[in-house]
Structure 1
């Protein structure tokens, strides 16, 4: 949910838009925080949760992440769908852990035994993974890509990293559209995917042409930006915003939550 304003920067066919969040009446309190606050909170929370070794602490972390999701007003159905996708990727590892981790037997079937230690580790991974994903969706999911780039720049991230991020976000969609045009041209010539030499050669030509056109576009963008006096900085990534009272309150609450997790983990 973003709106274009007068700070749109056009460099040839490159367009990087200063697109602040459109804070509608139903925007959650998380959206009103400084992007740097949200980014720092997401990073610290993820790092702390990853090193937790106690299921109780991981369960509390999941509860805190759920509270963040409620505060951010995440859509329930879409969030559950994303979590189901994540859990689907982890299901084989979660099933195999009780069978491969040694420990006190929990269940024995057909000569195979599942251990309590394996079950505990599987539950721990499940809780931590879901907690991190929900927190990331709550803190960063509704953030505009330019705001995230600004937050990285203001927090002292290398300029090259910020530029790489900004152009990657912009041109992934451009490359996808170019790929779609090439695929449409192939279909117009009655190309059909088969398991034969012609198909593999055609796919090779497809990706080769995509690479060539990507390089040509990059050269045009570079030349256009130099003609417009590009000095190594993307000005839409620069701002003079300051931390406000809501950011301080959120920082205190977040610190208390992190401290609670560490205390529970140490018990």
Structure 2
């Protein structure tokens, strides 16, 4: 089982799987979803960039700690007068599994794909032209804006700026954001002029997309079919509420 090589079909398959997995409400289907994504990762042989999940997992740890106390149900433990429920623990685990699996799936599907190829695939899927242009420009020049932000931060450090919880700090950060917007606008104007001088006529040149292969169609159908089985199993478990799992 593998994702299709054709980027258009891969995008449709991935977003269809994420959409089908969003309503999952039980632990076993959510765990099966994560197992499916791990299977795709090992099949592709690209490995898993666990470091990219550090920020996400930090949020999920907070969710696992707080959500059990916010859901009513079977009492599990009481801490400082607040009672955690078994249903809350299960709900937190389900959310953590779904979010982790979805982010991993997106990482597996689009890791190493150039922004121009993504834009061409979006254009081939009949997405709005302006949306495609904004996406390509954002991804391509995000590093430029990050570089401007880094230079502004360095300038603040050279001026011995020390952030504190006072009016001066908030005013300084506001000035920095305003200067960043001014520099980004000026850079955007220069980029627009350069593109017009090179004959840009409102759309990026794209090559004719290659026809879909039977292997790609079968791969997409297999992945989507596995996700559909997981969704059906979750809907079947929804009829039996005697046990939260």
Q: TM-score, normalised by structure 1?
A: 0.77
Q: Relative contact order (C-alpha < 8 Å, sep 6+): which is higher?
A: 2
CA–CA distance in 2 between the matches of 1:201 and 1:110?
40
Secondary structure (helix, strand or coil) at the match of 2:77 reads strand
Q: CA deviation at 1:144?
A: 2.0
Q: 1:175 to 1:57 in 2, by over 3 A?
A: same
- Is 1:106 aligned to residue 76 of structure 2? yes
The aligned residue for residue 243 of structure 2 is: none
State the secondary structure of the residue aligned to 1:142.
coil
Contact 2:115 2:140 in 1 (8 A): no
Matched residues in 2 for 1:198 and 1:102: separation? 45
Q: What root-mean-square deviation, in Å, do the aligned CA atoms of Structure 1 and Structure 2 show?
A: 2.4
Structure 2 partner of 1:12? none
Normalization by structure 2: what TM-score? 0.84
Aligned-partner Cα distance in 1 for 2:174–2:71 = 44
Q: CA deviation at 1:61?
A: 0.6
SS of structure 2 residue aligned to 1:135:
helix
Q: Give 5+ residue unaligned stretches, structure 2.
A: 237-245
Q: Secondary structure at the match of 1:106?
A: strand
- Over 3 Å counting, the alpha-carbon distance change for 1:34 and 1:111 in structure 2 is same
Could you say which residue in structure 2 is the equivalent of 1:169? Answer: 139
Equivalent position to 2:117, from 147, 158, 164: 147
Aligned partner of 2:102 in structure 1 is: 132
SS in 1 for 2:30: helix
Aligned to 2:41: 69
For residue 44 of structure 1, report the CA deviation from its aligned partner.
0.8
2:177 — aligned with what?
A: 207
Give CA-to-partner distance per residue, 1:105-161, whole Å, 9 cap, x none.
223455432212111111111111111111111112232222211111111110101
Deviates more, 1:149-158 or 1:101-110: 101-110
> Residues 231, 266 of structure 1: CA spacing in aligned structure 2 closer, same or farther, 3 A cutoff?
same
Q: Which runs of 5+ in 1 are unaligned?
A: 1-28
Shift of 1:205: 4.4
Pairing 1:223–2:190 present: no
Aligned residues: 233
